[in-house]
């Protein structure tokens, strides 16, 4: 396994980041920046530890090769291929995932 991977956010994952940031920023822009920075820092750990996330319980997610990293109350769904980690979604863990899969 390579010693370092490149982490890339897909456009929909970037949209997820904005949807996380925007409501928090309405109350406190500093808190929103701090939270998104913590999310990004935890996701950045995947550069060296791509197996850090767990294999999801949902059979469709397993079938597609997803892994899920838990960061506070969010689930970060990603796939790694070759030397690249593709972050597909960042979703609040309390959401119903069935319509997203």
* Choice between 57 and 85, residue whose per-residue pLDDT is larger: 85
Residue 30 belongs to a domain: yes
Residue 1 belongs to a domain: no
Q: 77: burial class by Cβ within 10 Å (0-12, 13-18, 19+)?
A: buried
**Which pLDDT score, from 0 to 100, does residue 80 have?**
87
Q: Is there a contact between 97 and 27 (Cβ–Cβ < 8 Å)?
A: no
What span, in angstroms and rounded, lies between the C-alpha atoms of 25 and 100?
25
Residue 64 belongs to a domain: yes
Our count of domains for the chain comes to: 1
- Identify the CATH number of the domain in which residue 42 sits: 3.30.2310.20
Residue 36 belongs to a domain: yes
Q: pLDDT (tens digit, 9 = 90+) per residue, 5-61?
A: 999 999 999 999 999 999 999 999 999 999 999 999 999 999 999 999 999 988 888
Residue 26 belongs to a domain: yes
* Choice between 101 and 57, residue whose per-residue pLDDT is larger: 57
Strands 74-81 and 6-9: unpaired
> Which structural domain, as residue segments, surrounds residue 47?
6-100
pTM assigned to the model? 0.88
**Which pLDDT score, from 0 to 100, does residue 40 have?**
92
């Amino acid at each position: 396994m390579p010693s370092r991977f490149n982490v890339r956010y897909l456009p929909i994952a970037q949209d997820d980041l904005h949807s996380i940031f925007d409501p928090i920023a309405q109350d406190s822009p500093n808190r929103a920046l701090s939270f998104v920075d913590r999310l990004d820092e935890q996701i950045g750990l995947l550069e060296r530890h791509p197996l850090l996330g767990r294999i999801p319980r949902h059979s469709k997610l397993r079938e597609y090769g997803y892994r899920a990293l838990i960061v506070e109350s969010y689930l970060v769904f990603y796939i790694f291929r070759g030397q690249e980690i593709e972050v597909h979604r960042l979703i609040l863990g309390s959401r119903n995932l069935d319509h997203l899969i």
